[in-house]
Structure 1
């Protein structure tokens, strides 16, 4: 396949050598000039109208950007395998104090994590993205994260990666205002990030309906709710009905592909689906550690299991032929264990950092990109 440079060389050769060939056939000078003019005009028009034809443009755009540090590499089979094992991580505790606050990134000094390198992981090349690579991946995008305190902790980890510890400290207070929205723009990479406080599943449907009304959708949408439904409503059937309504609106209103596996180009030097949907799952609940008696009575293992069943029945998740990729906080928090939580519900920063990197690696894989 030829790139733009190759195409230009071929075009120049056509303009140069075809008239010479015609002259070699002893045509008159006027005829040679006529054919040369026709060729030049045809090539000129072709070059300028190419961007307006989708099939041709997509052909040209299949070439990776020379400025990108994330060249295309994944085949379809590799993508399927790698996506299926993204959550197979290992947490490692180091000697030292594990009593740091949940929203304090300094906890990484005591707790680290990495991907298991055995079995199907060989060849997946999962990596913790640096600030530069994460910024490159999300350059020029609009990211919306909607949900409860779990979603807020996810946003903290994402911003901690993109901004660095010093800049993060300046906004940490605003981000942790209870039950409030938060919006920011990172001008250096043109990233807009919205956190929307949406503790109940029905709140998420309202948000999707607002996108539909405005006819403007984020590039990356991360949503999740369940804990408040468990505590305040305690009706798994109603929760399941809310998720089914949410799924109906997502599929009917957002411009997602039928296969829910897209490789659309994104602003910046890499590709991100538009929009790419993630479901932020509920964490493992450790009942004996919950910090109120009401939570211990209502948020039982049985109720949690019932809510999980309704989640899978809703067909919202990718593994149930739905549109949303699961960021499995339950699995991650379970692997981290009770040493990673103070209240049996909210976990150390490393858990949400892991979820952020899983999301970023999923975007890379599904965009046929690789570090």
Structure 2
């Protein structure tokens, strides 16, 4: 029996040469028309023969696949460059008092690094309107310790006017408490959940699953309290592994009903708020200076990587690297060696927003 290639060639000869011969017989006086007809028939035959030649079809497939890979690679490359931020920290005025050398004496500003690779990603500092468009109708949950609380405040500062921010500060910074607010003009809800330990975060995620209600954006981070009160990196790592398993079960999210039907629900965007750089000499208690050393912090950071929490290690959460942002801003950006000026968390918020733009293939 003839193979597929032989049958294809035979069919091609019939389709190609019979019409061409007829066209040559009737249209020999019109060479342009004859050539056009021959070209059309040849192209049609070529299209039909392509599947019979693996090398040709493989080439076409590889070209289309490579174009998709370029897009994916570009997105991944831009995500990896989100923290390429440089700082300008300069003395405010000329009356410098070395006995009062705190952060308020310095003006700080930040921008993305000027390089071809970073500029090609077109990162943006979003204004209030941009953020309103991006987060319109969203439920945002920020969970963690005091670092997460300042991060939530920085996010709200992009969507609220100064008068609204004054009322937020008094309520949001009530010690060790949750906070809820709604921004009516953009239909956004924000919840800050006080969750100083990883076990608190795990319970929070379990609550989402139990109630079958999920935020659109979830930012969480924990570690400083565990470092201070337990000083046990291994135990911290075990807690992170449990949290990772719980968070992973949110993806993809589905809601199950009694009639055995399931309805797909949009998966939340997940971010991990990294711990800040600790300036040991500036920590405000003896206990903190003894327990929260660079060595201990390094052990805790390694547990975060080892746990597989982060997307760069095939985990579910995108890192917001407050550690690198605070390190690059420096000691002039903190008064107590742990909590940094709002501008550091502002930069982290813009990193997150641009990550959302990349994930959703949007440009504002």
With structure 2 as the length reference, what TM-score do the two structures score?
0.73
1:362 counterpart (331, 355, 358): 355
1:287 counterpart (265, 270, 280): 280
Superposed, which structure 2 residues align to 1:29-68 within 5 Å? none
2:222 counterpart (208, 225, 241): 225
Superposed, which structure 2 residues align to 1:182-221 within 5 Å? 182-221=179-218
2:144·2:220 contact (CA, 8 Å) conserved in 1? yes
User: Which residue in the other structure is 1:65 paired with?
Assistant: none
Question: Which structure has more RCO (C-alpha within 8 Å, separation ≥ 6)?
Answer: 1
1:200·1:228 contact (CA, 8 Å) conserved in 2? yes
User: Which residue in the other structure is 1:77 paired with?
Assistant: 73
Deviation of the 1:122 alpha carbon: 2.6
- CA deviation string 1:316-338 (max 9, x = no partner): 10011000000000000000000
- CA deviation string 1:293-323 (max 9, x = no partner): 0000011111111111111110010011000
- CA deviation string 1:30-60 (max 9, x = no partner): xxxxxxxxxxxxxxxxxxxxxxxxxxxxxxx
Paired residue secondary structure (2:181)? strand
User: Which residue in the other structure is 2:89 paired with?
Assistant: 93
User: Which residue in the other structure is 1:126 paired with?
Assistant: 123
User: Which residue in the other structure is 2:176 paired with?
Assistant: 179
Which has the larger displacement, 156-165 or 242-251? 156-165
Paired residue secondary structure (1:178)? coil
User: Which residue in the other structure is 1:140 paired with?
Assistant: 137
User: Which residue in the other structure is 1:64 paired with?
Assistant: none
- CA deviation string 1:154-193 (max 9, x = no partner): 0110001110322101221111111000000101100010
2:91·2:106 contact (CA, 8 Å) conserved in 1? no
5+ residue gaps, structure 2, are 1-69, 255-265
1:352 counterpart (342, 345, 350): 345
Deviation of the 1:252 alpha carbon: 1.6
Return the index of the structure with the highest Cα Rg: 2
Paired residue secondary structure (2:87)? strand
Distance 2:154 2:106 in 1: 15
1:331 counterpart (298, 303, 324): 324
With structure 1 as the length reference, what TM-score do the two structures score?
0.72
User: Which residue in the other structure is 2:107 paired with?
Assistant: 110
Paired residue secondary structure (2:141)? strand
Which has the larger displacement, 193-202 or 114-123? 114-123
Q: CA RMSD in A?
A: 2.1
Distance 2:250 2:132 in 1: 29
Deviation of the 1:233 alpha carbon: 1.1
Runs of 4+ in 1 over 6 A off after TM superposition: 97-102
Distance 1:306 1:248 in 2: 21
Distance 1:253 1:125 in 2: 31
Structure 1 position 320 matched with structure 2 position 316 = no
- CA deviation string 1:106-128 (max 9, x = no partner): x7992111001214113111111
Paired residue secondary structure (2:111)? strand
Distance 2:131 2:105 in 1: 19
Paired residue secondary structure (2:142)? strand
- Count matched residues: 279
Paired residue secondary structure (1:307)? helix
